[in-house]
Amino acid sequence: MRIVDARVIVTCPGRNFVTLKVVTDEGVTGVGDATLNGRELAVASYLRDHVVPLLIGRDPARIEDTWQYLYQGSYWRRGPVTMSAVAAVDTALWDIKGKVAGLPVYQLLGGRSREGVTVYGHANGETVDEVLTEVARFVDLGYRAVRVQCGVPGLPRTYGVSADKMFYEPADAALPTETAWSTEAYLAHVPSVFARVREEFGPTLRLLHDVHHRLTPIEAARLGKSLEPYALTWMEDPVPADLQEGFRLIRSHTTTPIAVGEVFSSIWDAAQLIREQLIDYVRTTVVHAGGITHLRRIFDLAALHHVRSGSHGATDLSPVCMAAALHLDLAIPNFGLQEYMRHTEATDEVFPHGYHYDGGYLHPAETPGLGVDIDEQAAARYPYAPAYLPVNRLTDGTVHPW
């Protein structure tokens, strides 16, 4: 069996997605997600111009060899554009391998380690009362874990708080929206939000919160300490992970668990944090970290250091990525949680898939391969539309991380 074609498909059924479809001479196809939020066309070009020509004639069964060929052979290693492109190829080849073997991909990864994949939803509101209403809605849907985000009094807009509560898309404009931020107001408000949520829903519901990289280490330590009475499952992205020594300071002041890694693109981004046990959950994704092959390496390293998975699963990851993530989530021994933001009906039309939600769990398809595809005719009806994530400024006008 040989690869005879590889197509890069860019579509925007409500938000932009980049998909690679690999075709073999025996008619077996595989799909991989290559979406990089706000930089989609950079990955599409990388694939079309620099990767697809290398795939023609290759044996699709040689997944590891192809991964090393694309990673080691490029000279310019790592980075989100390169690793998203490599991920698309890797994911598509796993899809093909599963179809050829007649097995769902998780069986090729060692089989089930659990019956279902525990997911968390996003409850958000401008006020605490709105947040409580949204948490109740997710509890009624069977969720066992809920991320809680609330508007900050005095700020006109807060990232992570949306008008559409089920289908939130933060990349909202052809040029970045600029929003105001106050760390002082945020730190003063957040503990009171979780006090109300715990009072309303009791001690057993798993609660999470995303800081979106907005604090310094000592500010994050203060936040973590103030949230300890409410027993969060994790505090996500408390600081930018560029200076990883900063996590030592956070760790020395609070026992609130830490999750980080959705922007990581390789094991080297996470290695220090994992080895020093400075985090509790690693949130790296299939699409941004080199595919199933490389993400499995990250999770294997994490397993040796008592770190669990908690993969990013926002709407900028297509159903192709979600399907791949679920197969890996089901197989690894150190699974923690899987983020699950539901896609729109238009996205589900473009990406028909067999995974499904039931009572707090996602279940991958039992069909051979990943159990997901792309309808190219439907995709063609939704052309690319520029969209960027917002940019934060402090109230004095200084650009601030997210």
Which residues are part of the catalytic machinery?
Answer: 159, 212
- Which positions ≥6 away from 77 have C-beta within 8 Å? 71, 266
Cβ-based neighbour number of residue 166 at 10 Å? 14
Angle of helix 217-227 relative to helix 183-201, nearest 10 degrees?
A: 20
Strand 361-363 relative to strand 356-358, pairing:
antiparallel
| Separation between Cα atoms, residue 55 and residue 53, nearest integer Å | 6
| Separation between Cα atoms, residue 351 and residue 353, nearest integer Å | 6
- Which positions ≥6 away from 225 have C-beta within 8 Å? 253, 254, 256
DSSP reduced 3-state for 101: helix
DSSP reduced 3-state for 52: helix
| Separation between Cα atoms, residue 111 and residue 296, nearest integer Å | 14
